[in-house]
Amino acid sequence: MHGGDEVVAAPSRPSEPLDWKFSQVFGERTAGEEVQEVDIISAIEFDKTGDHLGTGDCGGRVVLFERTDAKDHGVSRRDLEIMDYPISRHPEFRYKMEFQSHEPEFDYLKSLEIEEKINKIRWCQTANSALFLLSTNDKTIKFWKVQEKKVKKISDMNLDPSKAVGSGSVASSSSSSSPKTCLVNGSSFDGSYNKLSNDFLSPGGLQLLRLPAVVTSQEINLVARCRRVYGHAHDYHINSISNNSDGETFISADDLRINLWNLEINSQSFNIVDVKPANMEDLTEVITSAEFHPTHCNMLAYSSSKGSIRLIDLRQSALCDSHTKLFEEPEAPGSRSFFTEIIASISDIKFSKDGRYVLSRDYMTLKLWDINMDSGPVATFQVHEYLRPKLCDLYENDSIFDKFECCPSGDGLRVATGSYSNLFRVFGCAPGSTESTILEASKIPMRRQVQTPTRPSRPLSSITRVVRRGSETPGVDANGNAFDFTTKLLHLAWHPTENFISCAAANSLYMYYA
């Protein structure tokens, strides 16, 4: 307190590293079990509430899970939090349903096979208790509606077969020797048919016959219906789709173009970014990822294979060839090599929940960018620095082209990304945080804390760039084993409101809480 009118706040202490625990696993493999390629998970996404989780796989299927722990109290979790009801249980999910989203296709004009693999899933706004989501493979985007429907059944006829057979009417109809009656058109019927018809049309027989009707039962089934198909708009493979905060539009991006769609219109889209040169020999970079700003419907960001991120404003022009801001880190003098551009390529970008920061993942690092500061990242986290001596081997086995995803926590205090040997990393990005955690996608995460910042972290609002390094781990994993480049954790998602991570290891979906 100074002068009686100014309060000086005590400096906030960085939060302690989270203690991560195993929660659930779906599709766990037994020892020695061979994984089918079609079962490998290729996309993970929470909806905005965190009550639903969707995954896509290489077989074109979408599997949905729903949260169950908040339902045990009879009211929603949000209401319980408002009432300050103590909730000690961590999030739990259960299998909800699955459906076939995409099938393998063949483009006869280009002699090209189109895989059914799901590249991305994005949840849309719910309406009337129905769930809506977008899913895409390399070429086609589909808009799905998932809702509960009461099962409709066909009621049985009230004719009792035993009575009809017992009277001899039905049984004798095929063996009757009564003379046939000829009709005008030359056809004929025998007397047995006439005898059977008379039985049904008699006052007593009329009560035995009733036409079947469709009745609604109390049984409820989940039904997924494809509402719209957005196709024939991309010449190259779709790498991203992203919903707009206006709830009406979304974007889809391939290597050279970004298209803007209206959810209600699948017959046309608007090309808003086109980086294709007049001569393809002049092509120097491609689009790798694109995402809408979480609150400003006119802003979006996209990354490139050169390691840059461009922020564009849709209000500037119909075709956004020029960017509003460009985020890239200058290349260190004398550090250029054959692999420089390959490892600089950004595989994924994500906005923070408040839209202030952009998280990007390249092969070696995880970077956090302030959209108000384009001079460089505010924080850099080393993920694969120990692999630098092995870049030649990684190039030979194509591992250097693996595309790892990243995700920020809902509170913006931490970020996460995957690695090899089914490991994933969690870093603290709050001011002063030294958190760097390695977890393994298994029932026993084998957690290891690493606190090796090169210098004290500074607030994210600071103009000076912060560089924080993770563990300079040699070529061994958390168990001391050599890294396995065939087992890689590419896809993971952070719950929007809680410290809860879901990640994919081949065909298994692991969940952890803290």
Full set of structural domains in the chain with CATH = 38-72+87-145+230-449+477-513 (2.130.10.10)
What counts of helices (H) and strands (E) characterise the chain?
6, 33
* pTM exceeding 0.85: no
Give the pLDDT of residue 112.
87
Mean pLDDT of the chain: 82
For residue 224, what pLDDT is reported? 95
Task: Specify the long-range contacts of residues 108-115, CB closer than 8 Å, at least 24 apart.
Answer: 114/138, 114/139, 114/140, 115/58
pLDDT of the chain, 514 residues: tens digit per residue: 444 444 333 344 567 889 999 999 999 888 778 889 999 999 999 999 999 999 999 999 999 999 998 655 455 556 656 666 555 578 899 999 999 999 999 888 888 899 999 999 999 999 888 999 999 999 999 999 999 888 777 776 555 555 544 444 444 444 444 444 444 445 444 544 454 455 445 555 555 556 777 777 777 889 999 999 999 899 999 999 999 999 999 999 999 999 999 999 999 999 999 999 999 999 999 999 999 999 999 999 999 999 999 999 999 888 888 899 999 998 877 778 889 999 999 999 999 999 999 999 999 999 999 999 999 999 999 999 999 999 999 999 999 999 999 999 999 999 999 999 999 999 999 888 899 999 999 998 764 444 444 333 333 433 334 445 454 444 554 444 567 888 999 999 999 999 999 999 999 999 999 9
407-465: per-residue pLDDT in tens? 999 999 999 999 999 999 999 998 888 999 999 999 987 644 444 443 333 334 333 34
User: What distance in Å separates the CA atoms of residue 150 and residue 148, rounded to the nearest whole number?
Assistant: 7
The span from the CA of 153 to the CA of 431, in Å, is: 61
Cα separation, 498 vs 93, whole angstroms? 14
Inter-residue long-range contacts of 356-362, CB under 8 Å, 24+ positions, other chains counted: 356/412, 357/408, 357/412, 357/460, 358/301, 358/309, 358/327, 359/406, 359/407, 359/408, 359/415, 360/303, 360/309, 360/406, 361/404, 361/405, 361/406, 361/417, 362/307
List CB contacts of 220: < 8 A, sequence separation 6 or more.
Answer: 148, 149, 150, 151
pLDDT at 450: 46
Amino acid sitting at position 423 = L
Q: Distance between CA atoms of 99 and 227, rounded to whole angstroms?
A: 14
Per-residue model confidence (pLDDT) at position 76: 58
Four-CA torsion 84, 354, 359, 469, nearest 10 degrees:
-60
Q: Give the span between the Cα atoms of 278 and 269, in whole angstroms.
A: 22
Reported as half-sphere exposure (CB side, CA atoms, 13 A), residue 319 has a value of 6
Instruction: Give CA–CA dist 344/331, Å, rounded.
Output: 10
Report the DSSP beta bridge partners of residue 359: 350, 368
Nearest by Cα to 20 from 433, 383, 453, 414: 414
d(CA 26, CA 185): 67
Q: Which residue has the tokens 């089914």?
A: 422
Nearest to 440 by CA among 5, 2, 20: 20
